[in-house]
């Protein structure tokens, strides 16, 4: 069984012989037990949930096949559907449509990729964009951040490092083996010297865009929360500067933070 990782770390080196052996075993099991499991699944879905159950069962199979295709076809898809600056196909936890949608957002689809996307849109409008999986297992192409949203009087608390020329929403990298609440509490304590009230945390959303300062195709993912806190935010001016920004200041932010500003402004929270 493969467990989803909370944050990215490279897979351990695999013995080529073991990899080939496990592949052969999985193929044999698929052909021997697959038909039995499929037939049983159809009847079980039919008698427990009717036609709707069959549809849901087949959709799950379709998604799994799509994920398999994303791994098997990754090198071909990276060659034909996206340019050298694109988001890479091949994440074992992601469908082809999801990776296609990420490249569409980045504007890195090639002509064949755009054609496939157009065909899919004809069948299902905005198919690839709606298929983007923001809960996909992190990979080397996604930097996984947790962000704290704090707004007062229509302005949001942001930071700027002393040696950089842009602002950012307080954030930190997800930590292996920790909950979002614990990681966010540690980061805000370290950066802003405040104590987050973890039970008060409220999910805001997940946002993705090209990571600032990284090579094209590397995405920054921000999972954002609000939370009450104790203390007065302050930071060492030698390392960070605190600023209260409004929507008109969004040009001073990274792409992913600009997306967050857009949503907060649309919701009437950010002036």
DSSP string for residues in 88-112:
PS--TTS-HHHHHHHHHHHT-B-HH
Comparing C-alpha atoms, which of 97, 96, 111, 99 is closest to residue 217?
99
Q: Tell me, what's the pLDDT at 170?
A: 95
205-217-252-208 Cα dihedral, nearest 10 degrees: 0
Q: How far is CA 250 from CA 3, 80, 203, 246, in A?
A: 38, 35, 22, 7
Comparing C-alpha atoms, which of 187, 200, 179, 199 is closest to residue 147?
187
Q: Tell me, what's the pLDDT at 61?
A: 92
Q: Which helix (H) or strand (E) holds 33?
A: helix 16-72
In a domain, 223, yes or no: yes
142 phi/psi in degrees, rounded to 5: -130, 120
Q: Does the pLDDT at position 9 exceed 70?
A: no
Residue 11: pLDDT band (50, 70, 90) is low
Q: How far is CA 218 from CA 30, 97, 210, in A?
A: 35, 18, 6
With H, G, I as helix, E, B as strand and everything else as coil, classify residue 215: coil
Rounded mean pLDDT, 48-76: 93
Rounded mean pLDDT, 68-86: 95
Residue 6: pLDDT band (50, 70, 90) is very low
Total domain count, the chain: 2
Residue 139: pLDDT band (50, 70, 90) is confident
- If asked whether residues 104 and 220 sit together in one domain, one would say no
Domain boundary among 130, 153, 185: 130
Sheet holding 171-173, edge to edge: 171-173, 142-148, 219-226, 202-210
In a domain, 231, yes or no: yes
- If asked whether residues 162 and 111 sit together in one domain, one would say no
219-226/142-148 β-pairing: parallel
Spatial distance between the Cα atoms of 262 and 125, rounded to a whole number of angstroms: 23
Encoded tokens for 247: 């929507």
pTM here? 0.71
In a domain, 3, yes or no: no
Q: Tell me, what's the pLDDT at 14?
A: 64
Domain boundary among 67, 98, 130: 130
- Residue-range definition of the domain harbouring residue 215: 142-266
Encoded tokens for 169: 């929403």
Encoded tokens for 18: 């073991």
Residue 23: pLDDT band (50, 70, 90) is confident
In a domain, 6, yes or no: no
- If asked whether residues 80 and 104 sit together in one domain, one would say yes
CB-based contacts of 122, cutoff 8 Å, min separation 6: none
Domain boundary among 76, 105, 130: 130
Give ∠ CA 101-204-175 in degrees, rounded to 5.
80
């Amino acid at each position: 069984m493969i467990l989803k990782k909370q944050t990215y770390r490279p897979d351990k080196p695999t013995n080529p012989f073991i990899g080939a052996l496990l592949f052969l075993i999985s193929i044999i099991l698929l052909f021997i037990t697959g038909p039995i499991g499929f037939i049983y699944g159809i009847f079980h879905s039919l008698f427990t949930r009717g036609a709707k159950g069959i549809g849901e069962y087949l959709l799950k199979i379709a998604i799994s096949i799509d994920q398999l295709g994303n791994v098997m076809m990754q090198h071909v898809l990276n060659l034909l559907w996206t340019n050298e600056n694109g988001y890479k196909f091949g994440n074992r936890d992601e469908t082809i449509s999801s990776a296609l949608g990420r490249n569409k957002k980045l504007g890195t689809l090639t002509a064949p990729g755009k054609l496939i996307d157009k065909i899919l849109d004809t069948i299902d409008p905005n198919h690839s964009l709606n298929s983007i999986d923001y809960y996909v297992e992190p990979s080397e192409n996604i930097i996984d951040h947790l962000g704290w949203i704090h707004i007062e009087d229509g302005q949001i608390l942001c930071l700027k490092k002393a040696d950089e020329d842009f602002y950012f929403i307080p954030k930190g990298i997800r930590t292996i083996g920790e909950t979002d609440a614990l990681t966010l509490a540690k980061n805000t304590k370290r950066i802003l010297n405040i104590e987050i009230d973890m039970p008060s945390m409220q999910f805001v959303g997940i946002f993705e865009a090209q990571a600032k300062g990284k090579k094209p195709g590397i995405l920054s993912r921000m999972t954002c929360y609000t939370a009450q806190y104790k203390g007065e935010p302050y930071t060492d001016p030698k390392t960070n500067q605190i600023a209260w920004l409004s929507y008109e200041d969004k040009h001073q932010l990274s792409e992913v933070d600009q997306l967050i500003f857009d949503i907060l402004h649309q919701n009437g929270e950010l002036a």
